[in-house]
Amino acid sequence: MKTGKILVVDDNLGIRRTLEILLPVHFAEVRTLPSPATLVSALEQFRPDVVLLDMNFNTDINTGNEGLYWAGEIKKMAPEVEVVLFTAYADIALAVEGMKRGAFDFLVKPWDNTKLIEVLTAARDKARKAKGHVIPSVAKESMYWGDSKAMTAIRKTVAKIAPTDATVLITGENGTGKDVLAREIHAQSLRSGKQMVAVDAGAITETLFESELFGHVKGAFTDAHTDHAGKFEQADGGTLFLDEIGNIPLHLQAKLLRAIQNRSIVRVGGTEAKPVNIRLICATNMDLEALVREGRFREDLYYRINTVHIALPPLRERRDDIVPLAERFLERFAEKYHRSVSGLDPSAQAALSAGWWSGNIRELQNCIEKAVILSEGKVLTANDLQIDARSGSGMTGMSGSGMTGMSGMGMTNTVIPGSTGNLSIDEETQVREAMARCNGNISAAAKLLGVSRPTMYAKLKKYGL
């Protein structure tokens, strides 16, 4: 018995008519739309299992952003519905981005009928299996220790300090896995039964800093319609992880220090001191000792958060771990994207091991993810990885895996496409170059650097741009 409802959204009449003949042979119900104009009502009335969605509907604009937008809207309105993107060759990088945002798969025009039915059938089966439930997102990355001397020493340190309430400072370049290590410490701690609350300190605007961390009472300011518990209170009994702590402005550091010292907070607009029982873990890619010497980071705060210091090594200093890490990512993304890729051939292993990986583990992960999505064989080759010859790493510009960029900003090691190729560019230079390359477009510059708009605004203010 044929099962499944397929909704096709494509502005090409010929494609719609072809699919109206082909798809009913394999699926119970098929409907087509010439544009997303009535997509919302179609989702409500037809209740499809799968939406086959074109990437472009405006003849004058071929950016693919319409497809990305509507894919996101579909997943918001009906998370159980699977989205398969229908794309021309020029849109493949955007289709990859769409899959990262939750699309099930993508098909390239002109399509192969067998492949089309195969993908839509798999998407239908997944949607029907969900039975109206929101499909869980992929589990967070687990800690991979590897066999390097540095990581073996860190593993022993974590085993010793995790069961205590000692404050931990984790440092390391962008993409080395500081947040993953923080979760591992929490998981091994006596507080593992409680939640770990993570805060990107560099992304909080100055005006909202106290409200976000300490909370506020009703009426404390405009739009404070109810009482709000801040991150310190939310982490009570568990772990508070302050990422990118080096980006907190100097005048706000005193308020943070007071809360850490007293283990109590006062909500904005309130008068009552509320005790908080937290274990504090901080992380940064910046040299805090240098910032202390320059007067940009409080010395007393530095010593308060630095009870135990763990410095994560860059990936290029643990090369024996590169291929095993890549194999873990390959297995994860092959399952996520329904690909039959099962390994790395010798050329791929050699290319990976020789890479500089300025973006470290995060860049390696992005490289493997893109290769798995675009692969057509059973194993990945060096050609599948598209490793950039300039740095030996998987950075091919802004599309696909994209720039590894600044995770929360700070010092980073990356190559801005079209720049001089310097592998140690300071933060201000990166911000200036990104703004120049994007002609002052803040959203585009933030995307280029891989950071949020609030973080970008904060950095523009910081450097007077």
Q: Is the dihedral of CA 111, 30, 36, 138 positive or negative?
A: negative
Q: For residue 461, how many other CB atoms are within 10 A of its CB?
A: 12
Over range 319-328, report the average pLDDT. Answer: 94
Residue 386, sorted as left (phi over 0), alpha (psi -120 to 50) or beta, turns out to be left
36-63 pLDDT tens trace: 888 988 888 899 999 999 988 765 545 6
Q: What are the tokens at 23?
A: 């798809």
pLDDT at residue 430, rounded to an integer: 77
Q: What are the tokens at 162?
A: 């995790």
Q: Which of 79-93, 120-134, 443-457 has the highest mean pLDDT?
A: 79-93
Looking at the predicted structure, is the pLDDT value of residue 122 above 70? yes
Comparing 88-92, 118-122, 288-292, 311-315, which segment has the lowest mean pLDDT?
88-92
pLDDT at residue 388, rounded to an integer: 62
Residue 357 in contact with residue 173, Cβ under 8 Å? no
The CATH number of the domain covering residues in 5-130:
3.40.50.2300
108 vs 90: CA distance, rounded Å: 10
Looking at the predicted structure, is the pLDDT value of residue 262 above 90? yes
Enumerate the CATH 1.10.8.60 domain ranges in the chain, comma separated: 316-398
Enumerate the CATH 3.40.50.2300 domain ranges in the chain, comma separated: 5-130
Enumerate the CATH 1.10.10 domain ranges in the chain, comma separated: 405-465
Provide the Cα torsion 269, 274, 278, 281; round to 10°: 30
Q: Average pLDDT, whole number, for the chain?
A: 83
Q: For residue 17, how many other CB atoms are within 10 A of its CB?
A: 11
Q: How confident is the model at residue 136 (pLDDT cuts 50, 70, 90)?
A: very low
Comparing 382-386, 423-427, 436-440, which segment has the lowest mean pLDDT?
423-427
Q: How confident is the model at residue 448 (pLDDT cuts 50, 70, 90)?
A: confident
Q: At 220, which amino acid appears?
A: A
Q: How confident is the model at residue 391 (pLDDT cuts 50, 70, 90)?
A: very low
pLDDT at residue 422, rounded to an integer: 35
> Which is higher by pLDDT, 77 or 426?
77
- pTM tops 0.85, yes or no: no
Enumerate the CATH 3.40.50.300 domain ranges in the chain, comma separated: 149-313
Is residue 196 classed exposed, middle or buried when 0-12, 13-18 and 19+ CB atoms within 10 A define those classes? buried
335 vs 345: CA distance, rounded Å: 19
109 vs 260: CA distance, rounded Å: 57
Q: Which CATH number fits domain 316-398: 3.40.640.10, 2.60.40.1180, 1.10.8.60, 3.40.50.2000?
A: 1.10.8.60
Comparing 122-131, 184-193, 280-289, which segment has the lowest mean pLDDT?
122-131
- Strands (E) in 374-436, as ranges, are 379-380
Residue 151 in contact with residue 325, Cβ under 8 Å? no
334-370 pLDDT tens trace: 988 888 898 999 999 999 998 889 899 999 999 999 9
152-182 pLDDT tens trace: 999 999 999 999 999 999 999 999 999 999 9
pLDDT at residue 413, rounded to an integer: 34
Give the closest residue to 235 by CA, choosing from 198, 202, 290, 274. Answer: 198
The CATH number of the domain covering residues in 149-313:
3.40.50.300
pLDDT at residue 284, rounded to an integer: 96
221-242 pLDDT tens trace: 877 788 888 899 999 999 999 9
Is 1.10.3470 the CATH number for 405-465? no
Pinpoint the alpha helices (H) of 83-112.
Answer: 92-100
